[in-house]
A and B are shown apart, each in its own frame.
Chain A
């Protein structure tokens, strides 16, 4: 480890920064020995810092190399770009991870790579980093490895023995668009390694049933990333894809990354002045609705409404399209219905269900519990309240009330949908 490493780290962190995933969640593993280091803790994981772009830093997110044989139009590291390139050695990566971890800078490592020579050559080196960390250094923290598109089953399976999470980024949500923008890739090269991991996990489950001591295989499952706004797909298409992915056994997280116009010379790409951050945020909210609010993809966006409303969040948008579902009686409605009310989040819905065992709830109680009454009042009744309901007042009226300039804060997402981008 020398000062030359500084320069390489600078290049390879910058090369990795467009991959938005940085989460260390999805698995709990205690450190059972006094001579090993690291564990993973429950919950959402630990963000150790926040970069100037406000994103969580949980992992050392870095590329092994940013040399790449491929030429994907949307990628800063594509072969044809004339940019500084660097490669970190296996031992440098291992040492950086260990030293950062021991100082409580990070939860672990997220390692990806450009494709050098061929997919297997690259994958093999990723595996070696993970192997050395786990075996030589008894590192028990979090490891997220990229499955390199086109890598062999053997290598992907080996990687899965050491990694907590693996991911292949789909990037472009439609195969034709993908082939157009990334001629070296197709859906097969992406779904195949995903399939290897899935199979590995399922077989591992079987084995663990027989032998409890079998080590776990990719315990935090898989994730993927979709770039938003580089190709013409609608939100409906993206959400359908996400929902199909979530229905597979091991896929835990889909990340959405607003396209940043890094290769402005490439005319296959739209010339966006700003990354579509509002749209990206709406997609995260929609994703949130599918995972925690029991919404289906086609309730959020369908052929009649193929794109998410940028002005209001997708839950409010659904409610305004379904005035007939309201008002909801907070003292009786079941948990599922409470979740559908704009202004009531997972937390306040849980509190309501608990608190009403003790007494009838009025608007004062609801406010204290954390219900955003400014929104919720158009959609609920609680006995004493005589506010106008959306069904009578019309959706247009409610919409105007809730998007009036003084109440609009574009920067912050709506109250019940605060997101971690971790």
Chain B
């Protein structure tokens, strides 16, 4: 090995990223950054070493991380990783290395650009999860179960599903990520991951068809829309704040943002 730094290429998985940390130490590679094989290789990179994901090695690194970093710090790494932002993997890589080298977690060193980048990414992911708790809407199906389509920017459904299983413990439901084409089904006892192939229209459109819908579903959607419009104070109209707190990218799946109630009631 000469001393010039190089980049480790891994398969884009979190385990792969941890394996890269392992190889850096065990093979004494002078690497300061990583590169997912899903990303395009920047032109100026000439020294790239490939790393084969190895669960055992990854686990050893993670155990090391757990020894040094707090729970918050660990969550910072896993959560910021989900953002899949370009370069965030390298930041995570360097945070782990710095913490291992100094035998002290750097998770609170907010003046370190990598730490700050990870916090920002983790916050965005956490916010995306929170918005799923806010804006997910169930529709009741004729068989008594509930269906909700989601389309999050980051892959946060696995982080959110437990909330719904706890809250709606007595209610069977399917939450489906219509862009990533997988979901979770809760049967009243446990949650299972499902990938439904085939062409079910509501898994594409996010809307139950008339035959699949509970007979009262329309009425409750109308009631909710009626409520939504009646609760706003006209003298305080503030569309900017509404849009800021409820970004437009969620609107197509929000019951209340669909066309106004069919039954227009005179005031």
A11–B164 Cα gap in the complex (Å)? 32
Contacts of A3 in B (CB 8 A): 219, 263
Distance between A358 CB and nearest chain B CB, rounded to angstroms: 4
Partner of B242 from the list A38, A52, A103 (CB cut-off 8 Å) is: A52
Q: Does B103 have its Cβ within 8 Å of any Cβ on chain A?
A: no
Asked whether B236 lies within 8 Å of A38 as measured between CB atoms, the reply is no
Complex Cα–Cα for A157 and B256 (A): 36
Give A271-304 interface residues, CB cut-off 8 Å to B.
274-275, 277
Chain A residue at minimum C-beta to C-beta distance from B250: A49
- Bound together, the chains give a CA A60 to CA B256 distance in angstroms of 14
Chain B contact residues, CB within 8 Å of chain A: 106, 108-113, 116, 130, 133-140, 146, 148, 163-164, 166-171, 188-189, 216, 219-220, 222-224, 226-242, 244-246, 254-256, 261, 263, 265, 267
The answer to whether A13 and B108 have CB atoms under 8 Å apart is no
The reply on A406 being an interface residue by CB < 8 A is no
B-binding residues in A (CB < 8 A): 1, 3, 5-7, 9-11, 13-14, 16-18, 30-31, 33-39, 41, 46-57, 60-62, 84, 96, 99-100, 102-105, 138, 260, 274-275, 277, 351, 354-355, 357-359, 361, 365, 368-369, 411
Minimal beta-carbon separation of A320 from chain B (angstroms): 28
Contact of B108 among A10, A34, A357, A361 (CB under 8 A): A357
Could you tell me if B134 and A47 are in contact, using CB atoms closer than 8 angstroms?
Answer: yes
Nearest first, the 10 closest Cβ-Cβ pairs linking A and B are A54-B241, A54-B238, A51-B232, A13-B230, A365-B111, A355-B110, A53-B236, A52-B232, A354-B108, A50-B246
A7 to B169, Cβ gap below 8 A? no
Are B233 and A355 in touch, CB under 8 angstroms?
no
Q: Which residues of A contact B139 (CB under 8 A)?
A: 103
- Across-interface contacts of B219 in A (CB, < 8 A): 1, 3
Instruction: Tell me, rounded to whole Å, the shortest Cβ–Cβ distance linking A420 to chain B.
Output: 9
Number of A-B contacts (CB under 8 A): 175
Q: In the complex, how many angstroms separate the beta carbon of A327 from the nearest chain B beta carbon?
A: 20
- B140 adjacent to A368 (CB under 8 Å): no
Contact B228 A51 (CB under 8 A): yes
Distance (Å) between the CB of A61 and the closest chain B CB?
Answer: 6
Task: Assess the B220–A103 pair: CB atoms within 8 A.
Answer: yes
Point out the residue from A10, A355, A368, A369 that lies within 8 Å of B230, measured CB to CB.
A10
Residues of chain B with a CB closer than 8 A to A49's CB = 134-135, 228, 246, 254, 256
Question: Are the C-beta atoms of A102 and B233 separated by less than 8 Å?
Answer: no
**CA distance in complex: A138, B108 (Å):** 43
Instruction: Tell me whether A13 and B231 are in contact (CB under 8 A).
Output: yes
B229 → A minimal CB distance (Å)? 8
The answer to whether A105 and B137 have CB atoms under 8 Å apart is: yes
Distance to closest chain B CB from A151 (angstroms): 25
Kindly identify which residue among B109, B163, B171, B254 contacts A102, using a CB–CB cutoff of 8 Å: B171
CB-defined contacts of B189 to chain A, threshold 8 Å: 34
- Shortest Cβ gap from B107 to chain A (Å): 9
Residues of B within 8 Å of A34, CB to CB, are: 169-170, 188-189
From B163, B227, B240, give the contact of A54 (CB < 8 A): B240
How far is A39 from B112 in the complex, measured between Cα atoms in Å?
39
Whether A51 contacts B220 by the Cβ 8 Å rule is no
Beta-carbon nearest neighbor of A20 in chain B: B233
By the criterion CB–CB under 8 Å, are A51 and B231 in contact? yes
Residues in B with CB closer than 8 Å to A39 are: 166-167
Q: How far is the CB of A14 from chain B (nearest CB, A)?
A: 5
Query: Within 8 Å CB of A38, what residues of B?
Result: 167
Chain B residues within an 8 Å CB radius of A30: 166
Cβ–Cβ contact A260 & B233, under 8 A: yes
User: With the chains together, A140 CA to B108 CA distance in Å?
Assistant: 37
Give B217's nearest chain A residue, CB to CB. Answer: A103
Minimum CB–CB distance for A279 against chain B, Å: 14
B111 engages A369 (CB within 8 Å): yes
Task: Assess the B242–A54 pair: CB atoms within 8 A.
Answer: yes
Q: Which residues of B contact A359 (CB under 8 A)?
A: 109, 111
* The residue from A33, A41, A365 contacting B169, defined by CB atoms under 8 A apart: A33
Note all chain A residues with C-beta closer than 8 A to B254.
49
Provide 23 A-B residue pairs closer than 8 Å at the C-beta atoms, listed in order of the A residue: A10-B227, A10-B230, A36-B169, A49-B254, A50-B241, A50-B242, A50-B246, A52-B237, A52-B238, A52-B239, A53-B233, A53-B236, A53-B237, A54-B239, A54-B244, A54-B245, A96-B223, A100-B223, A103-B139, A104-B136, A104-B137, A275-B235, A354-B110
